[in-house]
Amino acid sequence: MNNVFLLLLAREARLLFRRPAELANPLVFFAIVIALFPLAVGPETKLLQTLSPGLIWVAALLAVLLSLDGLFRSDFEDGSLEQWVLSSHPLPLLVLAKVLAHWLFSGLALVLLAPLLALMLGLPTRCLPVLLLSLLLGTPVLSLLGAVGAALTVGLKRGGLLLALLILPLYIPVLILGTGALQAALQGLPTAGHLLWLASLTALAVTLTPFAIGAGLKISVGE
C-alpha cells in the first residue's frame, strides 16, 4: 500500500510540474488580492493591521477554492478515475495521495508566501509564527473539503459555481478559527485554543474526507 501511495504521489507531482499555470494561478490571485487591498482602504497602518487577519484568511480560502475545480477533471477526461474506482487498491488511499500532492505544490506554497504579504499589511513579526501555523493546519482542511465538492462536480461542464455553493459553508469553521488565532496573536492573547481546534479539524479531515471523496468519485463516474 505504501508503494502505491508513493508512486501515485510521484506521478501527481510530475503532472503538476507539466502544468505550472495551475500552480501559479492561485498564488498570483492570493498575492494580487492582498496587494490591492491597501490601495482600496488607504495606507493607514492601524486599520490594515485590524483587517489583516480576516483579509489573509479570506484570500487564502478563495485561492484554494480557485484551484480545486480542475483537481480531478483531467483524470476524469482521460479515464484515469474509472481505473481508480475499479482498482483493487483502496480508493480513499489513492485520492489522499492526489489531494496531498495538490496541497504540497499549491497550499504549502501559499503558506510560505503568506508572511511576506502579511508584512505588507503591517502585521507585526511576532504574529508571523501563528500565521504560519494556522495556515499550515487550516489549508489542508480547505483542500480536503474542497476535494469532496470537486469529486461530486467533476462530471459537470460548469461545476465551478456549484462547487463553491457546496463547499463554502463547510469552510466557515476553518475561517473563524484561523482568523481568531491571528486576531488573538495581534492582541497579545493566547492562541493555543484556536490552533488546537484547527489541529483537531485537520486530523478529522484527513481521517474522514478521503472516504467521502471516494464516494463522490464513484457517483461521478457512475460506478
Q: Are 56 and 188 in contact (CB under 8 A)?
A: no
For residue 15, the model assigns a pLDDT of 76
Give the model's confidence band at 1: pLDDT under 50 very low, under 70 low, under 90 confident, else very high.
Answer: low
Three-state SS at 188: coil
Per domain, the residue ranges of the chain are 2-221
Q: Which of 4-8, 45-49, 157-161 has the lowest mean pLDDT?
A: 157-161
First to last CA, the chain: 23
* Separation in Å, CA 105 to CA 54, 69, 114, 122: 24, 16, 15, 27
For residue 2, the model assigns a pLDDT of 60
DSSP characters over 119-152: HHTT--GGGHHHHHHHHHHHHHHHHHHHHHHHHH
Give the model's confidence band at 150: pLDDT under 50 very low, under 70 low, under 90 confident, else very high.
Answer: confident
Q: Are 16 and 23 in contact (CB under 8 A)?
A: yes
- pLDDT (mean) for 11-32: 81
DSSP-derived secondary structure letter, 104: I
Summarised one tens digit per residue, pLDDT across range 72-103 is 887 777 777 888 888 778 888 888 988 998 88
C-alpha grid cell for residue 143? 483542500
DSSP characters over 67-103: TTTTTTHHHHHTTHHHHHHHSSS-HHHHHHHHHHHHI
**Confidence check: pLDDT of 197 > 80:** yes
Summarised one tens digit per residue, pLDDT across range 111-126 is 999 999 888 888 888 9
For residue 163, the model assigns a pLDDT of 79
Higher-pLDDT residue of 194 and 1 is: 194
For residue 158, the model assigns a pLDDT of 67
What are the CB-based long-range contacts (under 8 Å, 24+) for 191-197?
Answer: 191/130, 194/134, 195/130, 195/133, 195/134, 195/137
- pLDDT (mean) for 24-45: 85
